[in-house]
């Protein structure tokens, strides 16, 4: 259960959103932002552990401090930048620059402050790989969004692929979240079905999103619970919806003490509100003061 608080670990990003080739804007992003704000707005003591460039830290702190989020920021030559080109349902991503990897010692410093850790890497080098034994042995409850370990970066472009750190990340985690395509890639890589994967890595619950088609949660006991997506009244931007969903699911299960069906329904509703621009509003994350990456 979440009593003391939660730490979200991963890149805090400057996202350049390009819609249909012409509409462009900058905003704060990353799992630390979307999941962190979601936790904090449920009155959970929230910490983020991240690395950012000194020139960007004032803007980042300004956005997150007003959300009552404790920012544990290490310094890096660069802040991680994502360029998201969106055309309808299609999304292409580039990472022109990355922050340095979050170190084991940075992570261990927050262990005494929290009950739970939410791992939210956005790319395979986001967290030092040798941090995982310490995370696994921390006796904290560990949640993993596996998206960063189902990505390969070549020439600054993001492709699908399995990173070597995924096994260690899975072994350290009790609750894991992917989307349907990410799960397919993972199962193909390990040559296992989901039941076998969960048993091998001792994963208690596996949360899978199918976007507008809902999704399911599978438990280590073998039960599978389907959930429905909530209809979107007005589409604004799906960026961060998956991060909001997973954080809301964790809030439901570990803070509100809901069962799997109730927690997934709660998460689906809040995720839909995010897509509509009604949960974390776009202007709350606007960072147009920061120079756009080329």
Residue 282's pLDDT band, with cuts at 50, 70 and 90, is confident
Q: Looking at the domain assignment, is residue 83 inside a domain?
A: yes
pLDDT score recorded for residue 155: 85
Q: Examine the pLDDT at 119 and tell me if it is beyond 90.
A: yes
pLDDT score recorded for residue 104: 97
Q: Looking at the domain assignment, is residue 289 inside a domain?
A: no
Model confidence pLDDT, tens digit, residues 37-82: 999 999 999 999 999 999 999 989 988 999 999 999 999 999 999 8
**Residue 214, domain extent:** 6-284
Q: Looking at the domain assignment, is residue 292 inside a domain?
A: no
Q: Looking at the domain assignment, is residue 265 inside a domain?
A: yes
Q: Examine the pLDDT at 170 and tell me if it is beyond 80.
A: yes
CATH number at residue 233: 3.40.1190.20
Residue 83: which of 8, 44, 29 has the closest Cα? Answer: 29
Q: Looking at the domain assignment, is residue 129 inside a domain?
A: yes
Q: Looking at the domain assignment, is residue 126 inside a domain?
A: yes
| Percent of all residues in the chain with a pLDDT value above 90, rounded to a whole number | 74
Residue 286's pLDDT band, with cuts at 50, 70 and 90, is confident
pLDDT score recorded for residue 18: 81
Residue 290's pLDDT band, with cuts at 50, 70 and 90, is very low
pLDDT score recorded for residue 85: 80
Q: What's the average model confidence in pLDDT over 99-116?
A: 97
Q: Looking at the domain assignment, is residue 62 inside a domain?
A: yes
Specify the number of domains making up the chain.
Answer: 1
Q: What's the average model confidence in pLDDT over 93-110?
A: 94
pLDDT score recorded for residue 291: 41
Is residue 219 within 8 Å of residue 253, measured between CB atoms? no
The string of DSSP codes covering the chain is --SS-EEEES--EEEEEEETTTEEEEEEESHHHHHHHHHHTTT--EEEEEEEETTTHHHHHHHHHTTTEEEEEEEESS--EEEEEEETTEEEEEEEE-PPPBPHHHHHTTGGG-SEEEE--SSTTSB-GGGHHHHHTT-SEEEEEGGGGGEEEETTEEEE---TTHHHHHHH-SEEEEEHHHHHHHHHHHT--HHHHHHHHT-SEEEEE-GGG-EEEEETTS-EEEEPPPPPSS----TTHHHHHHHHHHIIIIIS---HHHHHHHHHHHHHHHHTT-SS-GGGSB-TTSPPP-
Q: What's the average model confidence in pLDDT over 237-244?
A: 88
Lowest mean pLDDT among 17-26, 108-117, 197-206, 212-221: 17-26
Q: Looking at the domain assignment, is residue 91 inside a domain?
A: yes
Give the N- to C-terminal CA distance of the chain in Å, as an integer: 43
pLDDT score recorded for residue 146: 97
């Amino acid at each position: 259960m979440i009593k003391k608080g939660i730490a979200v670990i991963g890149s805090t990003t400057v996202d350049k959103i390009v819609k249909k080739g012409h509409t462009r804007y900058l905003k704060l992003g990353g799992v630390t932002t979307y999941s962190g704000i979601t936790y904090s707005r449920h009155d959970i003591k929230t910490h983020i552990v991240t690395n950012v460039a000194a020139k960007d830290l004032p803007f980042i702190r300004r956005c997150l401090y007003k959300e009552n989020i404790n920012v544990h920021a290490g310094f890096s030559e660069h802040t991680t930048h994502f360029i998201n080109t969106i055309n309808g349902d299609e999304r292409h991503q580039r990472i022109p620059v990355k922050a340095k990897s979050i170190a084991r010692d940075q992570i261990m410093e927050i262990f005494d402050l929290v009950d739970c850790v939410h791992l939210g890497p956005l790319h395979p080098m986001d967290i030092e790989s040798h941090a995982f034994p310490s995370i696994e042995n921390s006796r904290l409850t560990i949640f993993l969004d596996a998206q960063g370990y189902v990505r390969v970066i070549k020439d600054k472009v993001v492709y699908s692929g399995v990173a070597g750190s995924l096994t260690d990340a899975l072994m350290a985690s009790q609750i894991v979240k992917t989307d349907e395509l990410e799960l397919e890639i993972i199962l193909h890589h390990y040559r296992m079905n989901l039941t076998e994967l969960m048993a091998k890595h001792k994963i208690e619950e596996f949360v899978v999103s199918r976007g507008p088609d809902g999704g399911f949660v599978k438990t280590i006991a073998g039960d599978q619970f389907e959930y429905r997506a909530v209809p979107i009244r007005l589409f604004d931007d799906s960026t961060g919806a998956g991060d909001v969903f997973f954080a809301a699911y964790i809030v439901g299960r570990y803070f509100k003490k809901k069962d799997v069906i109730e927690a997934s329904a709660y998460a689906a509703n809040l995720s839909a509100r995010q897509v509509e621009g009604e949960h974390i509003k776009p202007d709350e994350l606007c960072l147009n003061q920061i120079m756009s990456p080329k």
